Amino acid sequence: MKDDTILMAHGAGGKKSAELIRQVFLSRFSNPALSRLGDSAVLDSIQGRFAFTTDSFVVEPLFFPGGDIGKLAVCGTVNDLAAAAARPIALSAAFVLEEGLSFSILEQVVDSMHAVADEVGVPIVAGDTKVVPQGSADKMFITVSGVGEIPASVEPPAPDRVRPGDLVLLSGTVGDHGMAVMAQREGLRFSTNIVSDCAPLWSLVGAVLEVATDIHCMRDPTRGGLAAALNEIASLSQVNIEIEESAIPINEGVRVACDLLGIDPLHVANEGKMLVIVPESESQAVLSAMKKHPLGSMSSVIGRVNDAPEGSVYLRTRLGTLRILDTPSGDILPRIC
């Protein structure tokens, strides 16, 4: 008889653990590397340059408009690889499950992970499950690691490659994910529905790489939003980045919600947007490729890289004034990714 909820026995390594692996994970993630059930996944024919990343996801609530913790976990890891110009080739997934969690909730989350991984074309080849006592893990935590292959023709993008004269491109609206999660968590209602932008960005990056291989930097602006990502790049590259407020697309619902709550949308997390910094000579080809992609139809050039003052980010407001755009000083929206 199938259990309705997660029991401590499901994490004990015995019969219940085997049933959980077989019924929930193998039935959805099945592939040759995973099905061997070894202590490590063996990946054949690996050669060349690779990117490796890992991330943990602790979002509350588990389900929100536009996604859930499973979709978020796969998208977040795929997007970190994409920011390194790496085609995802394998993922692992580790689950910390709370005793009493409904099996149906776990299955919905795992179905979401499978759907996104299948869309990207990347197998989940290894995993782990731990069960903790009720009240210890807020239902579910997921850690996903990923390996991706960087094309031989591409110099890996990195902040230290950013140079004065580069243009800063953004693939779409900002603040959607963080505000969607917050609204769902707090039961807030706005005149316009706010939906997370959670999406896997490898196909968008792949389209960019088809038209330009000299991409200086890419970054998906997650926690801390656009402001944090730009400040990190400026600090690591010791350049000045100036962006135009009027060029940054923001959905009206997000704008209204941020105004009401006193939150800067540039500080709010995104889970389906990519910053792309390229030489000006490459910018039009890259922008055109991004706009032609469904996930980049609202792409725009939002700023330029300058040489001084070093390590700083400035925002030119709609009024024409210039102000410093700082990294958020604290966790404005906790537990969103």
Q: Which domains does the chain have, with CATH numbers?
A: 8-150 (3.30.1330.10), 159-324 (3.90.650.10)
My answer on whether omega of the bond before 309 falls inside 30° of 0, hence cis, is yes
Q: Which residues contact 313 (CB under 8 A, 6 or more apart)?
A: 227, 230, 231, 234, 240, 241, 242, 243, 324, 325, 326
Cβ-contact 106, 137 below 8 angstroms:
no
Q: What confidence score (pLDDT) does residue 39 get?
A: 85
CA distance 115 to 87: 18
Q: What confidence score (pLDDT) does residue 47 get?
A: 73
Which tens digit of pLDDT belongs to each residue from 8-56? Answer: 999 888 899 988 999 899 999 989 888 888 888 888 766 788 999 999 9
For the four alpha carbons of 238, 244, 248 and 250, in that order, the dihedral sign comes to positive
Q: What confidence score (pLDDT) does residue 194 get?
A: 94
CA distance 38 to 33: 9
Cβ-contact 234, 288 below 8 angstroms:
no
Q: Is the predicted pLDDT of residue 292 greater than 90, yes or no? A: yes
Q: What confidence score (pLDDT) does residue 43 get?
A: 84
Q: What confidence score (pLDDT) does residue 45 get?
A: 63
Q: Is the predicted pLDDT of residue 332 greater than 80, yes or no? A: no
Q: How confident is the model at residue 1 (pLDDT cuts 50, 70, 90)?
A: low
User: Pick the residue with more confidence: 329 or 317?
Assistant: 317
- Element counts in the chain: helices (H) and strands (E): 10, 13
Q: Is the predicted pLDDT of residue 276 greater than 90, yes or no? A: yes
Instruction: Please provide residue 37's backbone torsions phi and psi, each rounded to the nearest 5 degrees.
Output: 55, 40
Q: Count the neighbouring beta carbons within 10 Å of the beta carbon of residue 27.
A: 12
Cβ-contact 142, 129 below 8 angstroms:
no
Record the pTM: 0.94
